[in-house]
Structure 1
Amino acid sequence: MLRPIEYKLRRLARGERPRLLDLFSGCGGLTLGFHRAGCDVIGGVEFDEHAARSHALNFHRDVAPDLFEVHASPKDITAIGAHELLHSFGVKKPEHEVDILVGGPPCPAFTRVGRAKLREVHEHPEAFRHDPRAKLYLPYLEYVRRLQPVALLMENVPDILNFGGHNLAEEVCEVLEGLGYHCTYTLINSANYGVPQMRERFILVGVHERVGGTYAFPLPERRVEFPPGYQGTRDVALKHIVTDDLFAAKTRFVPTPVASRIRRPPVTVREALADLPPITGHLEGKLRRGARRFDEAVTYQSGVEPSEYARLMRTWPSFESDGYIWDHTIRSLSDRDYRLFRAMECGDDYPKAYSLAERLFEKRLVQETRSGRSALPGTDEYDELRKAYVPPYDPGKFPNKWRKMEPDMPARTLMAHLGKDSYSHIHYDSEQARVLSVREAARLQSFPDGFKFSGTMNPAFRQIGNAVPPLMAYALAVPLLTLVEGRSHSGVAASQRTEPSSVVAV
C-alpha cells in the first residue's frame, strides 16, 4: 500500500487538481486565493459562526442542504480531530485527501510555549487538548501530522518573529522538519501584489521532502513606497533574525523578495472604489441606527469607467458580479463626525482631526457670542456645545484612531475592529463625509464583488478585517502549486485544467 504522500503525488502527477483544507479559515481569504490558483476546496475550520457560514456560502453553495449545514457550522479546532472533521465532510480516507493545508492561527495564540511543548505535539499528539495556552497554532501542527499534506502555508502577523524576544516561527519550522517538511518563511506586504492596501504579513511555507525542489516566494508585482511606520514594524519583527553570522543558529528566514525593475505603481484607493456609487443619505438624516442588513441593492456608479482593478473585482471567475451590490452599507455616526470628515484633509490622523475640531468649536463660540447666546466655560451650555464639536478621545493616546484615506495611495491596514468602528478608514471624498462601506472594505482587501458575507454589517466588517487578502494568497499559491504539481500553470498544461469545484468527490 502506498504511503499517503506517495499516493497524493501520483494523483497530482496524473493531472488531478490539488485539494485544499483551510484551518482558521475565516470567511475564506486564503481559500479564495488558492481556489483561483487551481485548488478544489475540501472545507474549512472556523470558530466564528458568521465567518464559517460565509465560507460555506462561497465555496460549498452547490452541495446538498445537509452537507452545506455541516460546512456552515462553526468548528472548534481544539475539539474536533482531523479525521473526524473530514469524515463529517463525507471523506472516506482522510489521510489520502488533503494536498494543501493552509491557515492563519489567530495572533493571541502566541504564548511562550517553547521547544519542549512543541516537540510534545509530535510525540504526544493529544497534549494540546489539555493546555489552554496552546489551543490555536498547536492543533495546526497536529493536523499536519495527521493529514500529511504535500505542502502547507501558515500566515500571521510579523510579531510572531519577535514575541517577547521569542521567534516562534523557528520552533514551528523545527517541528515541521521533524515531520518531513522543508520550511522557509519571510515577511511580505499585500500592496506589492496588487492589493490596494498596505498589509504586512508573516508567511511560512512547508513542502514535503518527497516533492523535491524549493519554494520561492513570488517577486513583487508593484513598486510601493511604504510609510516609515511599516519599516519600523518590520525592523522590530526582524530584530532577532541573524542571517550573516556563521556562528548564529540556523534560520529558515529568507529576505523579502525584491524586484528592482518593477515600475508598475500600486493599486490605489481611488482605483479600488471610484466605480462604487456615492453614499450621502446619512447627511440628509436618512440613515437610522441599528443592525444593517444586506437587503438593499444598488448599481455601479454610472459614467465612471472602472479601473483594471475594479474590472477584476467585477469579473473574478466563479465570483462574478450580477450587476448589483447588496452590502454597500455604512455605519451611522454623529453630525460632529460628519462635520469633521468633510473638513479633514486626506492623510489627516486623529491629532489633526482633534486640532481641527478645536478650531471649529472656537469659531462656533464666536458665532454664539455675536448672536447674544454666549456659552461660558463651566456651564452646561458650554459643555454640550463642546461635545457637539470635539471628540472625547485623548489625541496623545489615540493617534491612529482616525485617518482620512489618501485616494492616490493604497489604504493602510484594515483591522478587525472595523466591526466596532471604522474611523481608521474615512472615505477620501469630502462630499460624502463618511467611513467605509462593507463592500468598500471588501474591495480594499481584494474580495470580488460576487463574494458574499454572512450576517449583518458588524460581523461582515469583522470578517473582512480578519481576512487574508485573496490576491496576496493567489500570488503565494501559484508558485506553490507549480512546485507540487511539477508542471507550469501556463501554456498547454493550464489549458487542460478543469474548472474549480467546491466539493471533492469521495
Structure 2
Amino acid sequence: MAIPVIDLFAGPGGLGEGFSAVNQGKAFDIRLSIENNIAAHQTLELRSFVHQFEKHALPGAYYEMYEESNLAKRDLLKQKLFERYPREYEKAKDIAWRCTLGSPDFPPELVNQRIAKALAGERNWVLIGGPPCQAYSVVGRSRRQWKENLDEKDHRVHLYKEYLRIIADHHPAVFVMENVRGILSSKLNGEVIFDKILRDLRNPGIIFKNRKAPKYKIFSLTKSGQTDGKGNPYYEYHSDFLIKAENYGVPQNRHRVILLGIRQDVSEPPKTLEKSENLVTLSDVIGDLPKIRSGINRSFIRSEMVLGKKKRFYRKETDSDDAWERLTNSLKAEVISWNGFAREYLASGIDVPPDGRGSEFVSCNTPSQSNPLFDWYHDPNLKGVANHESRVHLVEDLKRYMFSSMFTKTYTRFPRLHEFESHSEALLPDHENAKTGKFADRFRVQVPDQPATTVTSHISKDGHYFIHYDPDQCRSLTVREAARIQTFPDNYLFCGSRTAQYHQVGNAVPPYLAKQIAEIVFKISSSSK
C-alpha cells in the first residue's frame, strides 16, 4: 500500500510532485492537497488529474490541451478532458481542495473532517508543506524598513500554528516543513521565532492541550547532528537545517529551511541527502529551449512633477519582428559605441528567432540528450513546451538588458548600477534610489555556466532580476525557463495568466529536490509499518 500524504499550503504542487515520483508513483499516495490561490489550485487540480494515470501514459487529449496556445481554447479543452475521464477528474477534484487554512470560512472542525476522511484511519502517514513565507523573508523585512521584530498582527506569522494544530490532531508518522531562510533570524516579541517553532514542533501538546499529541524528533536533512541526554537530535547551529539546493542537482542557488519531524515511536533514524558530484548550470537546463525574442510595449518620454507627485509619460511602440530587429541592432550598436568591452560583437547583427516571441506552446525537440536532467524533464509524447512566451518590455529596459547581457558575456558577472552609470547616464532607471546603492543589483543577468539565482515570486512583477544571458534574445526568462530552473517536468502545465504562472513557479519547492527528500521519508515510513 502506498503511504498517504497530506500536503498543506501546496501551491502548484512542487513538494507533492517529488513525493509522487518515488518508485514510479507507487511509494506515496497524495490524498489531499490544500491551496487557497485560485490559479495555483487550478494547476494543482490538473496535476492531480495527471497523477491518476501511469507515467507517460496520459491520454492524447491531455497533449491536445497542452499544445493549445490560446488560453480560452485551452480551458475549453481542459473541461472536455475532465468530462471524458470523469472518474479520474472526480478523484483529482477530491484531492485538490481550495481552502484558506486559518480562515473563519474553514474552521478546524471542517479541516479535520476532510483530513480524517482522506486518511481513512491510516496511522502511518506523512504531512508535507510550509506556511506562507513572505512574513519571514529577508526581502519582506527589508520592505518594512528592516524592523527587527516581525509584526505580530501579520496572520502569516502564525500560520505555522495551523500546520502545528494538524500535527497535534492527526499525529503523522513523519512531517516535512519548508520555509525561507529568513525564518532563522526573524524575531517575534524579541524572541528568535525559529527556537519557538522548534519547541512547538517537538511537543505540539504544549500549544494544543487535551489532544494527546505525540512528541517528535526534529532532524536536519543535511547534517547528522548529535543527541542530547534524552536521545533527541541536537544541532549546534540553526543553519544546519538549511538546504542549499544547488548541492543536490538543482540548477539554482536556492537556500531553504526544511525540517524533518519523526514521531517518537518511529525508530528509524533518517539518512541525510547525498550531494551531487557536479553543479547543474543554467545553460545545462535552458540552453536547449527554443530561442525567442523579447516583446516591445512602450518607450519612456519624460517625467515631471504633477500636483506634488512624479508622473512619467510614455509612447506606445509597435511590437513586430521587423521593429524588434531594428531596435535590438540599434541598441547593440549603441552599447558597442560606449566601451571596447563589446568589440567582439561587431561581426554579426541580430536576427529574429524563428519562433518570434514564443507562445503558450512552442513546437520543438527538447530536452536534449545532453541535458543532465533529461530523464526528469522528458516526456516522449510531448512535441514541444508550454508556457514559453516572452514578456513585453519598456524600450529603455531592453537597452539595459542588452548592455547587461553583453557585459556578463565578457566579464562572467552581471554589472552593478554604478557600472551602468559609468558607461552611460541613460542606462540608469528613472527612480529616486537609482544612485543610492540600495538596489545595486536591480538588473541581474543569469550567468549561463553557474546555477541560477533564487527564483522567487518577484519574477511575477518584472524580469529585471532574471535577464537571459543571450544578448541576441534581449529579454527576461519565460515561465518555462523558470520552471526548468525549479525542476518542474516539461509536461507540467501552469494555469492562469502569465503573471499567475510566474508567481506559482517562484513560490514552489523544486520537485527534483523534493523527490530526494521523499526517498528518505519513504525509508523511514516503510520501517514503521
Instruction: Give the secondary-structure state (helix, strand or coil) at the position aligned to 1:392.
Output: coil
1:144 to 156, 167, 172: 167
Which residues of 2 match residues 103-502 of structure 1 at below 5 A? 103-109=129-135, 132=155, 135-164=158-187, 166-178=191-203, 179-185=214-220, 186-221=241-276, 264-280=277-293, 282=295, 285-286=319-320, 296-300=360-364, 305-315=369-379, 322-344=382-404, 345-346=407-408, 348-349=413-414, 351-352=416-417, 355-356=419-420, 359-360=423-424, 386=426, 389-393=427-431, 394-395=434-435, 396-486=437-527
Structural mapping, 1:4-83, within 5 Å: 16-37=1-22, 38-61=27-50, 62=52, 63=87, 65=89, 68-69=92-93, 71-72=95-96, 74-79=98-103, 80=106
1:84 and 2:84 are equivalent in the alignment: no
The DSSP-based 3-state class of the residue aligned with 2:489 is coil
SS of 1:297 mapped into structure 2: strand
Over 3 Å counting, the alpha-carbon distance change for 1:87 and 1:462 in structure 2 is same
Code of the aligned partner of 1:282: G
Taking a change above 3 Å as real, the CA distance of residues 169 and 460 of structure 1, as seen in their structure-2 partners, is same
**Residue pair 1:23, 1:45 contacting (<8 A) in 2 also:** yes
Measure the CA separation in 2 of the matches of 1:93 and 1:299: 42
Q: In 2 relative to 1, CA 212–335 (structure 1 residues): closer, same or farther, beyond 3 Å?
A: same
Contact 2:32 2:94 in 1 (8 A): no
Q: CA deviation at 1:350?
A: 5.7
Q: Which has the higher contact order (CA 8 A, sep 6+)?
A: 1
SS of match in other structure, 1:139: helix
Mark the runs of 5 or more structure 1 residues left unpaired by the alignment.
1-15, 112-129, 222-263, 362-385, 489-506
How far apart are residue 297 of structure 1 and its match?
A: 2.1
Residues in 2 aligned to 1:71 and 1:403: alpha-carbon distance in whole angstroms: 39
Task: Note closer, same or farther for the CA distance 1:94–1:82 as it changes in structure 2 (3 Å cut).
Answer: farther
- How much has 1:397 moved relative to structure 2? 1.7
CA RMSD of aligned residues (A): 3.2
Contact 1:109 1:135 in 2 (8 A): no
The TM-score normalised by the length of structure 2 is 0.65
CA distance in 1, matches of 2:460, 2:285: 21
Q: What is the CA deviation profile of residues 347-379 of structure 1, one whole-angstrom value per residue up to 9, with x for unaligned ones?
A: 544634x63366346xxxxxxxxxxxxxxxxxx
- How far apart are residue 481 of structure 1 and its match? 1.1
Amino acid at match of 2:164: L
Secondary structure class of the residue paired with 1:142 = helix
Distance 1:303 1:18 in 2: 32
How big is the shift at 1:73? 5.2
CA distance in 2, matches of 1:93, 1:107: 27
Cα offsets for 1:185-213 (capped at 9, x unmatched): 31111111111000011111111122102
SS class of match (2:257)? strand
Provide the rounded CA distance (Å) in 2 between the counterparts of 1:190 and 1:303: 21
Q: Equivalent residue of 1:285, what SS? A: coil
SS of 1:101's partner is: strand
| Structure 1 length-normalised TM | 0.68
Query: Gaps spanning 5+ residues in structure 2: where?
Result: 53-86, 138-152, 204-213, 221-240, 297-317, 324-356
Q: Structure 1's 92 and 445: CA in aligned 2 closer, same or farther, altered over 3 A?
A: closer
Q: Does the Cα contact within 8 Å between 1:157 and 1:201 map onto a contact in 2? A: yes
Determine the C-alpha separation between the residues in 2 that align with 1:456 and 1:18.
34
The 1:281–1:181 alpha-carbon spacing in structure 2 relative to 1, beyond 3 Å, is closer
Post-superposition offset of 1:437:
0.5
Cα separation, 2, equivalents of 1:351 and 1:134: 34
Instruction: Give me the whole-angstrom Cα distance separating, in 2, the residues matched to 1:47 and 1:94.
Output: 24
| Distance of 2:29 and 2:135 partners within structure 1 | 29
Q: CA deviation at 1:92?
A: 6.6
Distance 1:272 1:34 in 2: 22
Partner letter of residue 283 of structure 2? R
Would you tell me which structure has more strand in proportion to its own residues? 2
Distance 1:427 1:109, change over 3 A: closer
Deviation at 1:411, TM superposition (A): 0.4
8 Å contact from structure 2 (residues 266, 528) kept in 1? no
User: Whole-Å Cα distance in 2 between the matches of residues 429 and 169 of structure 1?
Assistant: 41
Separation in structure 2 between the aligned mates of residue 478 and residue 426 of structure 1, nearest angstrom = 34
Q: What is the aligned-residue identity percentage? A: 28
Q: State the alpha-carbon separation in 2 of the partners of residues 302 and 438 from structure 1.
A: 16
SS at match of 1:102: strand
Residues 46, 135 of structure 1: alpha-carbon distance in 2 compared, 3 angstrom cutoff: farther
Range 431-440 or range 48-57, more displaced: 48-57
2: CA distance, partners of 1:265 / 1:400: 27
